[in-house]
């Protein structure tokens, strides 16, 4: 018997990279052993920023390929695409009537994204956290693996669950965060910003060749101006983050000692980081190539996942409509 239900999503906004992998996907795979997991490619979230319609199916497909190649077993979880389950948007509408404009205006992600996409500050971008609450609560998930940046959104989901339960009767659990243990991976070319799909030159994607991985790590920025005494520069700190995420503890310990002794050489650290990343990504890339030979299988997995998700989602929607007086 698995402990609790988990929901997590990833946006099909570009190639899945090693930041997404250590911050989310690798954890997703591990969590399937302990929890009943619902994992979703959240295309309805991805359309809140500018995109080209005809590109979306390929983006969804590529994301699914990456995630399956990273080891997610679709038999051990429910893996699906958000827009295939229209109950997400229906529940979002009901929750819109419970969410306050003031709370949404305070969301850091909204402030950042509306700054980044000034030409397209749409209502969907504003409403993003409410759709996220609908994603989670549609499956009555009790646990949500998140990075610290998502805690504010999760708090809103908890607030919406409380409001709904208060007004219409106990229906939803208050989902709890499970903080992802891995540290945030920063951009290789600009280590004061986070590694992002949308930040060109910042990332190593899961499908990258060994040669490319070594080249990108070899070129990673290490010096970025003067540092406080005894503090690693952001670039060096990021190389240590990657080492901790991919290499054995002894290797991390060895380089920490070198650093403390003032004898650290980037010419030794960077190849060690690259070796560790390559060792973990090589089998993923091989699995990806095998899967890519059978695209029909990937779509079948996603269709089957959506059917399983809908069975649960439909029950929640019936219950919500009844409680809200939207059904005779």
- Residue ranges in contact with ligand AQP by CB under 6 A: 10-11, 13, 19-20, 23-24, 147, 150, 184-185, 194-198
Closest distance of CB 325 from ligand AQP, Å: 34
Whichever of 147 and 258 has its CB closer to ligand AQP, that residue is: 147
Query: Residues, the chain, total?
Result: 328
For the question of residue 237 being annotated catalytic, the response is no
How many CB atoms are located within 10 Å of the residue 39 CB?
25
Asked whether the CA dihedral 326, 40, 74, 246 is positive or negative, the reply is: negative
Which residue among the candidates 2, 111, 113, 294 is catalytic per the annotation?
113
Q: Is 147 exposed, middle or buried (0-12, 13-18, 19+ CB in 10 A)?
A: middle
Relative orientation angle of helices 108-116 and 123-138, to the nearest 10 degrees: 140
Active site residue 215: no
Nearer to ligand AQP among residue 28 and residue 94 (C-beta):
28
**Least Cβ distance, residue 184 to ligand AQP (angstroms):** 4
Edge-to-edge strand ranges of the sheet holding 5-10:
78-81, 36-41, 5-10, 143-146, 176-179
Handedness of CA 198, 196, 66, 110 (dihedral sign): negative
Assess whether 113 carries a catalytic annotation.
Answer: yes
Whichever of 78 and 187 has its CB closer to ligand AQP, that residue is 187
* Least separation in angstroms between CB 62 and ligand AQP: 13
The catalytic position among 140, 194, 216, 270 is 194
Query: Which one, 82 or 316, has the nearer CB to ligand AQP?
Result: 82
Residue nearest to ligand AQP (CB): 23
Task: Give min distance, CB of 245 to ligand AQP, in A.
Answer: 9
Q: Residue 127: CB partners within 8 Å, gap ≥ 6? A: 92, 96, 104
Which residues form the catalytic set? 113, 194, 197
């Amino acid at each position: 018997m698995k402990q609790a239900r988990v929901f997590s999503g990833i946006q099909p906004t570009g190639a899945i990279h090693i930041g997404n992998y250590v911050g989310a996907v690798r954890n997703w795979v591990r969590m399937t052993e302990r929890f009943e997991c619902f994992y979703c490619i959240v295309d309805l979230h991805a359309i809140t920023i500018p995109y080209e319609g005809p590109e979306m199916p390929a983006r969804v497909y590529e994301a699914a390929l990456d995630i399956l190649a990273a080891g997610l077993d679709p038999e051990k979880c429910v893996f699906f695409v958000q827009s295939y389950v229209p109950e997400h948007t229906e529940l979002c509408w009901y929750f819109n009537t419970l969410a306050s404009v003031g709370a949404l205006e305070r969301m850091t992600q909204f402030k950042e994204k509306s700054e980044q996409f000034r030409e397209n500050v749409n209502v969907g971008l504003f409403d993003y956290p409410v759709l996220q609450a609908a994603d989670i609560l549609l499956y009555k998930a009790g646990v949500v693996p998140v990075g610290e940046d998502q805690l504010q959104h999760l708090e809103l989901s908890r607030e919406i669950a409380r409001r709904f339960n208060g007004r219409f009767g106990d229906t939803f659990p208050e989902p709890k965060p499970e903080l992802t243990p891995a540290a945030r991976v920063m951009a290789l070319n600009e280590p004061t910003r986070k590694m992002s799909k949308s930040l060109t030159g910042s990332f190593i994607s899961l499908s990258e060749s060994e040669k490319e991985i070594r080249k990108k790590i070899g070129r990673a920025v290490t010096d970025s101006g003067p540092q406080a005494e005894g503090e690693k520069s952001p670039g060096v700190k990021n190389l240590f983050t990657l080492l901790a995420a991919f290499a054995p503890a002894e290797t991390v310990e060895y380089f920490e000692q070198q650093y403390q002794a003032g004898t650290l050489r980037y010419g030794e650290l960077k190849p060690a980081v690259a070796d560790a990343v390559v060792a973990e990504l090589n089998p993923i890339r091989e699995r990806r190539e095998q899967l890519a030979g059978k695209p029909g299988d990937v779509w079948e997995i996603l269709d089957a996942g959506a059917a399983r998700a809908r069975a649960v989602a439909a029950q929640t929607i019936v219950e919500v409509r009844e409680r809200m007086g939207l059904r005779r």
